[in-house]
């Protein structure tokens, strides 16, 4: 087999054509309906117990943002009518041992980080105050200020947290570090924060999406359609629903996807996330390169091996951004990996692989966005702003463009009613907005 044949067949197996997109949308709607009714579904459809912002909320809030390898503490100001502003912010890297240790260690680490932030910025630790907590994992809520972790995603595995109320765990740790005056007043997923943050300045915003380490989306739902909710104390007719679309499982898969899933620590789960998000797409490309090496299609002379963990999404991004005629950036990367004499054909093949993997990610993402939009508004008669945050969206070359072109393909003229907009820091800022909406 030649490289070109391999690439051609790869292209075919990763293609998500118009028919597949329409199938995905139909299956997605089916799982949304089931999730909202509380029956078994790959979409959890979790009520967030908060509505969009009115833009009039005011106040200064401390917010926590936990969801990837970094943990952030922020102070956010809502002045009403303008963009929420970050006044202070500090990032803490979560040590691997803490991510995979015990829940008590994880929440103690968070409490210590909050204390450091408050002392560094001279924020009074004795004052009674509410805190907004962005916790970017699936949580089952029955009100805005508590939530039970359903399962970990994105490689987290701290013990003793699943099935527990996250807010209790955090408040216990806060007490341990003399921060007992701080109470969590709002708990929200990062998608919910992102939607809330953008809706503060744009009333047409009704969908929030994250394309980062993981991927997920939420949207504004009519409470009457949330069949599983029953009668609970909630004051508005609309509520944000966190779909947890990363776990959607009716997606066309390849052998590489099966391989990746099999060795992951959550086999069978987060199937859509494993095709789209930053934590996984680099690994899919690496599996393809390894296959090409085994088939002696590339680097047969260099005896190059791509070990797990050696090739990440940021490398993929670098490869796809190489627009030089001789693909010198890719050459530089390969030289760093010990491949001294790669051919242009090999380098081009690497770029093709990355384009194919990221192109599929964008088309599946567009299918997800389109599913949510047509669930809310089947003919797309109204304008919708989609607030998006996350490094994949912000940094991956062509990812945004590919999503937009797929949406145009799916919706032709009505796609003019869809506006994709970046909600920078939405997941951090947003929970302050959520806290303010909950308090209003
Ligand atoms: C994972 C989490 C989800 C989160 C997403 C983006 O899919 O399960 O809750 O929103 O990552 O961070």
Q: What span, in angstroms and rounded, lies between the C-alpha atoms of 7 and 11? A: 6
Query: Does the structure show a pLDDT above 80 at 209?
Result: yes
Q: What span, in angstroms and rounded, lies between the C-alpha atoms of 378 and 369? A: 13
Is 235 a residue of the active site? Answer: no
Query: Does the structure show a pLDDT above 80 at 318?
Result: yes
Q: Is the Cβ–Cβ distance between 180 and 174 less than 8 Å?
A: yes
Residue 191 Cβ inside 6 Å of ligand 1? The answer reads: yes
Give percent of the chain with pLDDT exceeding 90.
81
pLDDT at residue 440, as a whole number: 74
Q: For residue 234, give Cα distances in angstroms to 157, 195, 208, 225, 438.
A: 33, 19, 21, 14, 10
Which residue has the least CA distance to atom 1 on ligand 1? 214
Query: Does the structure show a pLDDT above 90 at 25?
Result: yes
Query: Does the structure show a pLDDT above 90 at 54?
Result: no
pLDDT at residue 439, as a whole number: 79
Tracing tokens 């260690």 back to the chain, one arrives at: 105
* Inside any domain, residue 191: yes
Residue 153 Cβ inside 6 Å of ligand 1? The answer reads: yes
pLDDT at residue 165, as a whole number: 97
More confident position, 124 or 325: 325
Q: How far is CA 406 from the centre of its chain?
A: 20
- Model pLDDT for residues 333-368, shown as the tens digit of each residue: 999 888 888 999 999 999 999 999 999 999 999 999
Query: Does the structure show a pLDDT above 90 at 190?
Result: yes
Closest ligand 1 atom number to CA of residue 214: 11
Q: How many CB atoms lie within 10 A of CB 408?
A: 15
Mean pLDDT of 317-329: 97
pLDDT at residue 302, as a whole number: 72
Closest ligand 1 atom number to CA of residue 273: 7
Here the CATH number for the domain that contains residue 187 is 3.30.420.40
Closest ligand 1 atom number to CA of residue 270: 7
Query: Does the structure show a pLDDT above 90 at 243?
Result: yes
Q: How far is CA 92 from the centre of its chain?
A: 19
Distance 8 CA to ligand 1 centre (A): 33
The residues with which 131 forms a beta bridge, in sequence order, are 62, 184
pLDDT category at 269 given cuts 50, 70, 90 is very high
pLDDT category at 182 given cuts 50, 70, 90 is very high
Which residue has the least CA distance to atom 8 on ligand 1? 137
Query: Does the structure show a pLDDT above 90 at 9?
Result: yes
Let me know if 9 is exposed, middle or buried by CB neighbors in 10 A (0-12, 13-18, 19+): exposed
* Inside any domain, residue 188: yes
Q: What is the largest CA-CA distance in the chain?
A: 70
Query: Does the structure show a pLDDT above 90 at 411?
Result: yes
Residue 154 Cβ inside 6 Å of ligand 1? The answer reads: yes
Mean pLDDT of 15-23: 97
pLDDT at residue 159, as a whole number: 96
Residue 248 Cβ inside 6 Å of ligand 1? The answer reads: no
pLDDT category at 68 given cuts 50, 70, 90 is confident
* Inside any domain, residue 321: no
pLDDT category at 36 given cuts 50, 70, 90 is very high
Q: For residue 242, give Cα distances in angstroms to 208, 252, 285.
A: 9, 23, 29
Q: How far is CA 407 from the centre of its chain?
A: 19
Tracing tokens 């069978």 back to the chain, one arrives at: 268
* Inside any domain, residue 227: no
Query: Does the structure show a pLDDT above 80 at 81?
Result: no
Residue 342 Cβ inside 6 Å of ligand 1? The answer reads: no
Mean pLDDT of 91-115: 93
Query: Does the structure show a pLDDT above 90 at 96?
Result: no
| DSSP-assigned letter for residue 412 | G
* Inside any domain, residue 161: yes
Distance 56 CA to ligand 1 centre (A): 28
Q: What span, in angstroms and rounded, lies between the C-alpha atoms of 74 and 425? A: 10
Is 8 a residue of the active site? Answer: no
- Model pLDDT for residues 422-437, shown as the tens digit of each residue: 998 888 899 998 888 8
Strands 129-135 and 139-143, how do they pair?
Answer: unpaired
More confident position, 404 or 60: 404
pLDDT at residue 234, as a whole number: 82
More confident position, 259 or 68: 259
pLDDT category at 67 given cuts 50, 70, 90 is confident
pLDDT at residue 80, as a whole number: 84
pLDDT category at 229 given cuts 50, 70, 90 is confident
Length of the chain: 440
Residue 65 Cβ inside 6 Å of ligand 1? The answer reads: no
Residue 134 Cβ inside 6 Å of ligand 1? The answer reads: no
Residue 138 Cβ inside 6 Å of ligand 1? The answer reads: yes
Q: What span, in angstroms and rounded, lies between the C-alpha atoms of 270 and 311? A: 21
- 33-37, 179-183, 223-227: range with highest mean pLDDT: 33-37
Cα-flanking dihedrals φ and ψ of residue 431, to 5°? Answer: -70, -25
pLDDT at residue 3, as a whole number: 94
Let me know how many helices (H) and strands (E) the chain has, helices first. 15, 13
Residue 393 Cβ inside 6 Å of ligand 1? The answer reads: no
* Inside any domain, residue 288: no
DSSP letters, 286-321, are HHHHHHHHHTTSS-TTTT----TTSS-HHHHHHHHT
In this structure, what token pair is assigned to residue 202?
A: 């744009």
Residue 81: give the domain boundaries: 49-201+425-434
pLDDT category at 300 given cuts 50, 70, 90 is confident
Catalytic residue among 65, 190, 202, 257: 190
Catalytic residue among 27, 65, 154, 351: 154
* Inside any domain, residue 123: yes
Q: How many CB atoms lie within 10 A of CB 381?
A: 8
Q: Is the Cβ–Cβ distance between 311 and 286 less than 8 Å?
A: yes
Distance 247 CA to ligand 1 centre (A): 9
* Cα separation of the two ends of the chain: 65
What is the average pLDDT value for the chain, to the nearest integer?
94
Distance 34 CA to ligand 1 centre (A): 20
* Inside any domain, residue 64: yes
Query: Does the structure show a pLDDT above 80 at 233?
Result: no
pLDDT at residue 66, as a whole number: 93
Distance 191 CA to ligand 1 centre (A): 8
pLDDT at residue 315, as a whole number: 95
Domains in the chain, number: 1
pLDDT at residue 104, as a whole number: 96
Beta strands in 172-214 (DSSP E): 182-188, 205-211
CB environment 235-257: b (16+ within 10 A), e (fewer): eeeebbbbbbbbbbeebbebebb
Query: Does the structure show a pLDDT above 90 at 1?
Result: no
Pocket test for ligand 1, best of 43, 65, 190, 278 (most atoms within 8 A of CB): 190
Distance 67 CA to ligand 1 centre (A): 7
pLDDT at residue 256, as a whole number: 98
pLDDT at residue 170, as a whole number: 96
Helix (H) or strand (E) holding 69: none
Distance 190 CA to ligand 1 centre (A): 7
More confident position, 271 or 123: 271
């Amino acid at each position: 087999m030649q490289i070109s044949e391999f690439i051609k067949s790869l292209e075919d197996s990763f293609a998500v054509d118009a028919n597949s997109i329409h199938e995905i949308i139909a299956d997605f709607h089916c799982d949304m309906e089931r999730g909202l009714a509380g029956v078994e579904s790959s979409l959890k459809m979790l009520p967030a117990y908060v509505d969009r912002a009115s833009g009039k909320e005011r106040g200064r809030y401390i917010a926590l943002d936990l969801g990837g390898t970094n943990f952030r503490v922020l102070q956010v100001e809502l002045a009403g009518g303008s963009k929420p502003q970050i006044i202070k912010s500090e990032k803490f890297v979560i040590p691997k041992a803490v991510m995979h240790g015990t829940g008590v260690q994880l929440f103690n680490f968070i409490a210590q980080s909050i204390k450091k932030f408050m002392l560094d910025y001279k924020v009074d630790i004795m004052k009674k105050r509410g805190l907004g907590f962005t916790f970017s994992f699936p949580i089952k809520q029955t009100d805005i200020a508590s939530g039970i972790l359903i399962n970990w995603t994105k490689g987290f595995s701290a013990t003793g947290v699943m099935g527990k109320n996250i807010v209790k765990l955090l408040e216990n740790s806060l007490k341990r570090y003399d921060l007992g005056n701080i109470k969590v007043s709002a708990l929200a997923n990062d998608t919910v924060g992102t939607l809330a943050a953008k809706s503060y300045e744009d009333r047409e915003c009704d969908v929030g999406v994250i394309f980062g380490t993981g991927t997920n989306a939420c949207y504004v739902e009519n409470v009457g359609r949330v069949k599983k909710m029953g009668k609970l104390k909630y004051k508005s007719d609309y509520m944000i629903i966190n779909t947890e679309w990363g776990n959607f499982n009716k997606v066309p898969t390849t052998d590489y996807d099966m391989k990746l899933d099999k060795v992951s620590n959550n086999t069978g789960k987060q199937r859509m996330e494993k095709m789209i998000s930053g934590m996984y797409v680099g690994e899919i490309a690496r599996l393809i390169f390894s296959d090409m090496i085994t088939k002696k299609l590339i680097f047969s002379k260099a005896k190059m091996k791509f070990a797990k963990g050696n090739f990440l999404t940021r490398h993929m991004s670098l490869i796809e951004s190489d627009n030089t005629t001789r693909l010198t950036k890719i050459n530089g990367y390969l030289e760093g990996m010990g491949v001294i004499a790669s051919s242009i054909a090999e380098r081009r093949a690497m770029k093709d692989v990355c384009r194919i993997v990221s192109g599929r990610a964008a088309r599946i993402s567009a299918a997800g966005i389109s599913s949510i939009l047509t669930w809310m508004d089947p003919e797309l008669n109204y304008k919708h702003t989609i607030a998006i945050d996350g490094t994949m969206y912000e940094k991956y070359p062509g990812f945004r463009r590919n999503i937009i072109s797929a949406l145009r393909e799916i919706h032709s003229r009505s796609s003019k009613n869809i506006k994709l907009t970046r909600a920078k820091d939405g997941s951090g800022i947003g929970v302050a907005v959520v806290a303010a909406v909950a308090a209003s």
